[in-house]
Structures are given as C-alpha cells and as structure tokens.
C-alpha cells in the first residue's frame, strides 16, 4: 500500500501524474534535496539577441499556421488576497488580463489570416470563471477545447513524507505541482494529441499575468527555421530580479535553470549576484510539440525535470500548522531535458508581470500604454526603465486594502523614478509623481497634487 498513490488515484488523477509524483517522492526519501550547487554550474556569458533577429515574413507565414498560444492560467493571486482567477483582474483601460490576451490572439488571426488557437492551462479554481469570461469572445472558439486542467499533488508531512492530513480544510492537503506539470497535463488531458492532429507543431507558452509576452514573428521564424526543440526567453537580471531563477551552464555546455529553492544556503550570494549570473528566465517558452511527444513517450508520460523542494506549513496562513513538503517542478527546467535546447535574450518589454499591487499600480498608470495589437508597453518617455514601486505590505499587499487607498485610480507615474509608501496613505485623483518620492502615513494626498522628491 502506498498512501500517496492511493490518495491521488482516489481523486481520479492520471497514472502518468501519479507515477511522476511518486518518483520525486522516492528521490526525496533517498536523500536527494533538489539542490544545484554553484560548484556544478558555470555562468552564461552571452546569448543570441532577439532584437538583432531579421524579419522573415515567409517563414513566419508558414509557421504561424502550425502554432498554438498557451497561457498558464491557474493562479488565484492569493499573494494579493484574491480568491478568484488572477487573470480576471482589471489591469489596463478597463480590461482584464484575459480581455487583452483574447484581443491579442484575435488581432493575430486577422493580421496572419490564420485561425491561431488560444488554449488556457487552468486549475480547478480558475476554470469556471475564466471560461465564462471568454464567452464574451465567441469568435475564439475553434475545433479545440479552450482549456485543459493542470494537476495537483499531495502535500507531504515534513517528518514522515506521508500525505498531509488536515481535517479543518481538506483542500489544503493538496498543492499545485509547479508549472513543470504543463507537459504531463498536456498529454494526460488529450490536448497534446488534439493539437498534433490539428497540425500544430509549435507552442508559444507564457503566464497569463505577463502582458509583455506576445507572439513575436521574428522569434517564431527563428524557432521554426532552426528546427529547435525548445527555446527559453531570458532577460538581463537587475537587482530586483536577484531572487528569480537564472540560467547557467553545466560543464558539458548544456543550459540549465536554477531556482532559489534549489540553491544551497552557502551559495545564496552567488545565486543573487546579477553580474555573475546575468540572465533570468522570463517563463516564456517555445516548445516543439512533436519533440515533446517523443520525450513523453520515452518517460512514461512525464519529463524527468529537476525537483524543487518547498518547505511550508499545511495552512499557509497559519505558521503554527504542521510543516509540510511541496514537491514542484519548473517548466523552464525542461531546457535541461531537450537535446539542442536554446535560450534567447529578449528586451525587458517582453517581461511585464503583475506579482504585487505595486506592479499593478505601475501597469494601471500612464507609465504603460496600450499600443496596437493590443500590446501593453512601457511609455517611450521612460526609455525602457519602469518606475520602482515599493508599497508597505501592511497597508497595500492585499487588493481590497490597495483599492481603498487609490479609489480614483493610479497617480501619474510617467515622470517617476521611484515611489515608496510606508504607512496608511490615501491618494486622491489626478496625483502626479515625479522623480523619487517617499511618503509616510497617516496621510491624505489631495487630488491634483504634484509630488516631487
């Protein structure tokens, strides 16, 4: 008897997903900690540059008809206090993430003359609301489902590595397996076979909360022309990215992705040295679906991705609840699995995620503009450098608290370099922030105020 296997099968989870989880669990039991020390990798000195790619309209026109856009849409935005799909959050000009994504795909269909499919990887928590929202765009429907479901795995007791038992809320006994689940869930849901039967060979994959990640014709042409199995978009690391996963090389020369949870404590300084490890994973990928199908066939329906061991409490909101282990994988880690995989340096404009309410404030402001496509881009006046927004977690971390303090929308940030807010500060409408500004509450910023540091 295996309690974890029994629990997963009782939930109707597919055999491939069960087998993959048990293999990771057994590796942990055998002493593997999922770490990648500095001594086993080397920095990546340079990458090919997307901004130097030539236009190749002939290859683009041929390849776009064999492409699918996949958006990872399982997140609830719990870090901001949300309980529904994060992609339904209003982000720009009255539009949600999903509104903008749908319009981007429809615009690409019009410009290319090709019925480009859009597919979401939903979670059980986001599926119903997200599909309901897409009904506002009936023209998106093709001869494919609009989504497939990501899997879930049991949290394991930190002491015995048996499935966690939490009668107070059985839902908290389960965890998402990380974005690396993309590959197995594509196969077990039947979506991979459906895409291949439709003639789709290339998947463009990105997070639904990254509005900078749009299907770039030059990158697709490169991917198709080079017959690459896998391509990762990577951007230059800055101090604000020091805790994000970075690219490295193994001594063999192959590329590998290292996350902070995989880094031993003694190597944390090297991990966060952005001059040593220069490129971070933008979590935007290009995947050859035929190559993926071949690898999944060799791996019993799963890829052998590096394991990430996250140590938490069974109830994240209760630090006194029992300690658990969550076993995860990162989808970008597949760069270490596909033979011949590559990475491409992309401009920062292709990485516009919303992870905090500070990101949301910036995106809603005039620091970002909506261009044709529709594409959300940094205003040209900012010359590629977004404002740095630092909002006090106690008063702004949760979305309801944030909205109460900006009842009339975001201030103007087009002339802002840095805005830091500590304490309870409420902003009136039409506020303008220039240069570097620090505010401490309690404070009411009058409508129309011009703040300059």
For 75-126, what is each residue's pLDDT tens digit? 877 778 777 889 999 999 899 999 999 999 999 999 999 999 999 999 988 9
The pair of structure tokens assigned to 110 is: 């019009």
| Residue 102 vs residues 147, 239, 432: alpha-carbon distances, Å | 13, 33, 32
Query: Tell me, what's the pLDDT at 353?
Result: 87
Query: Tell me, what's the pLDDT at 77?
Result: 79
Query: Do residues 76 and 84 lie in contact, with contact meaning Cβ atoms separated by under 8 Å?
Result: yes
Query: Tell me, what's the pLDDT at 435?
Result: 95
Cβ count within 10 A of residue 348: 16
Query: Tell me, what's the pLDDT at 34?
Result: 83
Helices 127-134/97-112 angle, 10° precision? 50
The domains of the chain, with CATH numbers, are 3-350 (3.90.550.10), 357-452 (2.160.10.10)
Residue pLDDT tens, the chain, 453 long = 799 999 999 999 999 999 999 999 999 999 988 889 999 999 999 999 999 999 999 999 999 999 999 999 988 777 787 778 899 999 998 999 999 999 999 999 999 999 999 999 999 889 999 999 999 999 999 999 999 999 999 999 999 999 999 999 998 999 989 899 999 999 999 999 999 999 999 999 999 999 999 999 999 999 999 999 999 999 999 887 888 889 999 998 899 999 998 899 999 999 999 999 999 999 999 999 999 999 999 988 989 998 888 899 999 878 899 999 999 999 999 999 999 999 999 998 898 888 899 999 999 999 999 888 788 888 999 888 889 999 999 999 999 999 999 999 999 999 999 999 999 999 999 999 999 999 998 999 999 999 997
For tokens 């491939």, name the residue.
16
**Cα–Cα distance for residue pair 163/173, rounded to 1 Å:** 8
Query: Tell me, what's the pLDDT at 421?
Result: 97
Backbone φ and ψ of 432, nearest 5°: -120, 130
**Cα–Cα distance for residue pair 191/160, rounded to 1 Å:** 36
Query: Tell me, what's the pLDDT at 371?
Result: 84
DSSP per position, 276-307: TS-EEEEEEEEEEHHHHHHHHHHTTTS--PPP
**pTM for this entry:** 0.93
**Cα–Cα distance for residue pair 343/30, rounded to 1 Å:** 33
Provide the residue count of the chain.
453
């Amino acid at each position: 008897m295996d309690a974890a296997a029994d629990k997963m099968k009782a939930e109707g989870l597919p055999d491939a997903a069960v087998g993959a989880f048990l293999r990771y669990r057994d590796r942990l039991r055998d002493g593997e900690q999922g770490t990648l020390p500095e001594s086993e990798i080397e920095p990546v000195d340079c990458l090919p540059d997307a901004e130097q790619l030539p236009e190749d309209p002939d290859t683009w026109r041929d390849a776009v008809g064999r492409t699918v856009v996949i958006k990872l849409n399982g997140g609830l935005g719990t870090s901001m206090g949300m309980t529904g799909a994060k992609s339904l959050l209003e982000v720009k000009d009255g539009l949600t993430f999903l509104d903008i994504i749908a319009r981007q795909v429809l615009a690409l269909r019009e410009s290319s003359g090709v019925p480009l499919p859009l597919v979401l990887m939903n979670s059980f928590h986001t599926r119903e609301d997200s599909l309901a929202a897409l009904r506002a765009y009936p023209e998106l429907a093709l001869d494919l489902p609009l989504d497939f479901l990501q899997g879930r795995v049991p949290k394991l007791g930190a002491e015995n590595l048996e499935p966690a038992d939490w009668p107070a809320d059985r839902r908290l006994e389960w965890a998402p397996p990380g974005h690396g689940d993309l590959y197995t869930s594509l196969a077990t849901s039947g979506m991979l076979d459906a895409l291949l039967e439709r003639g789709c060979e290339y998947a463009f994959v990105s997070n639904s909360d990254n509005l900078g990640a749009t299907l770039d014709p030059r990158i697709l042409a490169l991917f198709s022309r080079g017959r690459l199995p896998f391509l990762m978009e990577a951007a230059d690391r800055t101090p604000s990215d020091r805790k994000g996963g970075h690219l490295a090389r193994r001594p063999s020369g192959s590329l590998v992705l290292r996350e902070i949870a995989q880094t031993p404590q003694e190597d944390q300084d090297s991990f966060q040295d952005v001059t040593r490890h220069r490129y971070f994973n933008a979590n935007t990928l290009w995947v050859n679906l035929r190559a993926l199908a071949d690898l999944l066939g060799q791996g019993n329906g799963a890829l052998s991705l590096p394991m990430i061991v996250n140590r938490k409490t069974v109830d994240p909101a209760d630090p006194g609840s029992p300690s658990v282990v969550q076993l995860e994988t990162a989808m970008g880690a597949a760069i270490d699995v596909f033979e011949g995989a590559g990475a491409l340096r992309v401009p920062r404009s292709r990485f516009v995620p919303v992870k905090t309410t500070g990101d949301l404030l910036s995106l809603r402001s005039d620091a970002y503009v909506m261009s044709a496509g529709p594409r959300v881009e940094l205003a040209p006046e900012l010359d590629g450098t977004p404002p740095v927004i630092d909002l006090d977690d106690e008063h702004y971390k949760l979305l309801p608290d944030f909205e109460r303090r900006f009842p009339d929308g975001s201030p103007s940030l087009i002339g802002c370099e840095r805005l830091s807010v500590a304490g309870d500060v409420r902003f009136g409408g039409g506020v303008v922030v220039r240069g570097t500004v620090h505010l401490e509450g309690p404070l009411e910023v009058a409508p129309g105020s011009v703040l300059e540091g």
